[in-house]
A and B are shown apart, each in its own frame.
Chain A
């Protein structure tokens, strides 16, 4: 296919951990001896080790990126998402030719402009106008091109009044606006953008995203965009790549990629709900918890389901008064609905010494959009004591009757508005 703008072909990047200056001369000599003279494999490249920053590895070298292979088509806007240290910025650095890969090759068509930072090369003593020239020429524009677009740049940045003032007198937001404005008028075939929009105000962020959309949709340019802002990725990108520990974890449609990425952290691994109890009161033991007739940590509320059942079995060594609190939160940990009868109605259940069963049948609220939720479950005597805490103990998937629409509880009900998926 000839419309491929960028091709990553088994790209890897190796970094050495720790201090670069310690003992490197001997390592360098060793490596040089082994690879250049003896033509052996590099002794410091250990294959098969992944880059997990929280765990201690055996080697002091680490693959920040490994075996990255994918194609980007012309006009694609690719969102690259992943946790800190997943290799997103390294990927962009390689593409920007700031540093070179250890293995593999990247091939591209057209001019690449990278925006790893806004306003690179700005000198505080120079005026806004001079810095536009400075920054523009660092990005590869000619003076002629810059002069041609100067008015547009100044206008886009909205700093007309300050254009002949040294940028050291600018606010940090103004510097970002000016820097982004220069980049926006660069007109490269491929635009590489790191998380740079975070500093501008809401109005400017909107403007910047709009500009990037114009660039990709209107002019058919290719954009690679790294961000932690899922809303920006969702609205801007057509494709998504999830990086994890330097490897491609997921690649596909941007919405799916975001979903995948968010789920990644979201799932509970432990098999049963009761295994996720983090704390219980002395003398209290919980033997089983069932939500929606299941003691497993994953459950689905189907379309049309009206109630949710909850059953807690346990044993107590002393009499207690207790109440159940159940909170459903969405993936951003925002509480959506909660059950806390003790707080609302003052209904507290009295439990005697010995085995007990607490059962609830909860009327599901009509307003609950489809999507993924999780539940926090607590036993407590309101305002007196905590008895059991089990935050994030069940993943709940709520089925809508249609993907992007909310969940009208009773389909036949007239005049009911379903909630949109967020």
Chain B
């Protein structure tokens, strides 16, 4: 028998860490197609189209102004309330939508996954990318509001930390994807986790400085909130364009390391599940 040069080997158990980066690169066109599909199909047969992405944050901002700003009287650190809430809502929306799309990878794509093999990571990666569009539209709204308040003479200070913005977005995206993938891997078998997660995500928002600045939190809770890896991201963004809060390099480093380690775990779990999930989903 001559030398066996098989190109494909299908075996029951592969290495415990098996990330097919080459495969993902080879399927980059599929990634592109998925992103394109998400963007194109979202507005089909709607009247207002992308406007929906604006209506939701505008109304949420108004609601927060009424409840948290008005009734509860939570400080916004001298920043005009609409702007402060809008910033938080915008970032949070991106986090939660990227998280949701990642956590539904298996259940939402069971049909396709059951028929064709391709690196499954392409789907969550394209999901966090296509959600950037929605994020971008809301960012435009934020910029418009910002300019309005700036012209009106509110005390807003832009600083060099704004250059970190792409990195902050990147951090949010991969935090969301990592957690989403872990959840998606677990929900293929135990479906009740989805209930817990929807509810948990709502609570998690209040553990993140979305509607309040970190320094407005009571002293004894501040350390706990600082443990939240999203906290430095939100704080840094608000600091960079509105001058409130603080720039905490240590916090950002913590958030980055946290993201990298969860991403690693997530990919390991995900690659284990993707091989056999069709039998359990």
Contact = CB atoms under 8 A, between A and B. Distances in A.
B191 A125 contact: no
Interface stretch (A106-114, A149-157, A233-241, A295-303): A106-114
A123 B41 contact: yes
Interface string A124-149: 01100010011001111111000000
A130 B40 contact: yes
Nearest to A90: B279
A96 B29 CA distance: 20
B129 to A, nearest CB: 15
A345 B99 CA distance: 82
B22 interface: no
Interface string B169-195: 000000000000000000001110000
A107 B33 contact: no
Contacts of B11: 100-101, 104-106
B273 to A, nearest CB: 11
Contact of A137 (B30, B111, B277, B278): B30
A105 B41 contact: no
A74 interface: no
Given A114-B115, A120-B115, A106 B9 contact: yes
Interface string A75-95: 000000000000000000111
B278 A93 contact: yes
Interface in A170-213: none
Which size bracket describes the interface of B in this complex?
35 or more
Interface in B1-45: 1-2, 4-12, 26-27, 29-30, 32-33, 36-37, 40-41, 44-45
A130 B40 CA distance: 10
Nearest to A112: B8
A166 B280 CA distance: 33
Nearest to A103: B12
Contacts of A50: none
B7 A110 contact: yes
Interface in A26-53: none
Contact of A109 (B8, B44, B112): B8
Q: Quick one: which of B4, B30, B276 has the most chain A CB within 10 A?
A: B30
A218 B112 CA distance: 31
Nearest to B113: A98
Contacts of B33: 133-134, 137-138, 143
Nearest to A118: B115
A138 B120 CA distance: 11
Contacts of B117: 96-98, 112, 114
A156 B227 CA distance: 59
Given A126-B40, A126-B41, A138-B118, A20 B8 contact: no
Q: Which 5 A-B pairs have the closest CB atoms?
A: A97-B117, A137-B30, A107-B6, A106-B10, A108-B8
Interface of B: 1-2, 4-12, 26-27, 29-30, 32-33, 36-37, 40-41, 44-45, 111-118, 189-191, 275-280
23 contacts: A20-B189, A20-B279, A21-B190, A25-B190, A98-B115, A99-B279, A100-B11, A105-B10, A106-B8, A107-B4, A107-B8, A108-B7, A109-B5, A109-B8, A112-B8, A112-B117, A123-B37, A134-B33, A137-B27, A137-B30, A137-B32, A138-B112, A140-B27
